[in-house]
Amino acid sequence: MGTVPDLATSAALMGWAVEVGEGTSAWTPGTESQTVSTSTNGASERVHVIHNWSWEPSVFTVPGAVRAAVSGEELAEGTELKLGAWDARVVIEKA
């Protein structure tokens, strides 16, 4: 038998199973309406896609230095990305 836990239970379970620290990712959603997906591109760079799945705008705080994939803009750690309704941003970690 399987189960599909709600968001709060899933977050608690993952928090228990994986502590954020050295060797793990700090790229976690900033709000309940956000998701963050991470992958590696052909140049071995880590690419993060931040989605806002809501009609309400949200803000995501970048946990490390990145560049915006579309504009090439350099973003420092702590930069706040403003996401509009149903918006997405793609950023690439700086090595």
**What is the tens place of the pLDDT at every residue in 8-50?**
777 777 666 655 544 446 899 989 999 999 999 999 999 999 9
- pTM listed for this prediction: 0.74
Residue spans of beta strands (DSSP E) within 41-87: 46-52, 58-61, 66-68, 74-75, 80-83
Q: Return the pLDDT at 17.
A: 63
Using CB atoms within 10 Å of the CB of residue 89, give its burial: 0 to 12 exposed, 13 to 18 middle, 19+ buried.
buried
State pLDDT tens for residues 75-86: 999 999 999 999
Using CB atoms within 10 Å of the CB of residue 17, give its burial: 0 to 12 exposed, 13 to 18 middle, 19+ buried.
exposed
The span from the CA of 40 to the CA of 51, in Å, is 17
